[in-house]
Amino acid sequence: MKNTAKPVALVTGATGGMGYEIVRDLSRSHQVIVVGRDAQKLAALAADFGAITWQQDITDYAELQTKVAALKSLDVLVNGAAIGLGYSVDNASAEHWEKYFSVNVIGHGMITSAALPLLRKSQGTIIFIGSGASTKPSPGSALYTATKHALKGLADTLRIDESAHSVRVVTVAPGPTDTKMLRESFKPEDYHPDQYIQPATIARVVRFVVDAPADTQLTDIAVRPRQEITR
């Protein structure tokens, strides 16, 4: 009898603007498990797209690892959780540094570690949502930029380490995207959403990565606004 079960995707940062659109798109073909903190938004994802919800902070390392290890299968992991308020070297405390790295890097490393046995079995795909900041930083964003450099380094090394298992490891690096995180970095009168990439566009790029032919992997994808923005 033919197996009709959907492939499984796990998405962190699912209650953000980008995450919501990624879940919307992947739910067309996958059973999606979503990780986020906002109970109301998680409920909407369950109601709208049939998502399985895990209300967790990405820094709940042990609990998330236990939940991932209990899964029967996994085909796609999208590491999308992030924080990005503007801290520079001269105004960031040690606590700020620790928080940024715990969310933007360590959390992804820990959940990925727990997911690797299942992804090796399925020869699945790991997608890290990086940032254009790793190649084109904005003033006053040293902490965020440092974590996105680190995340790219994690992905690049993991790709080498997992090549023997045929696990695809991809960094999708969006430029300025119309999300709450970006809007909060502007004064309202200075923000013009039509200048920025739409979250649904990033979801389409993630879909392109997931649907890539089995004989290839797309390693680094930079997604830039049609007209470059200088800040």
Catalytic residue of the set 87, 100, 144, 196: 144
| Residue 196 is a catalytic residue | no
CA atoms within 13 A on the CB side of 114: 20
Per-residue burial over 199-223, b if 16 or more Cβ lie within 10 Å, else e, is: bebbbebbeebbeeeeeebbebbbb
Residue 182, Cβ neighbours under 10 Å: how many? 17
As a whole number of angstroms, the distance between CA 30 and CA 205 comes to 16
State both tokens at 138.
Answer: 């904005």
Residues known to be catalytic: 144
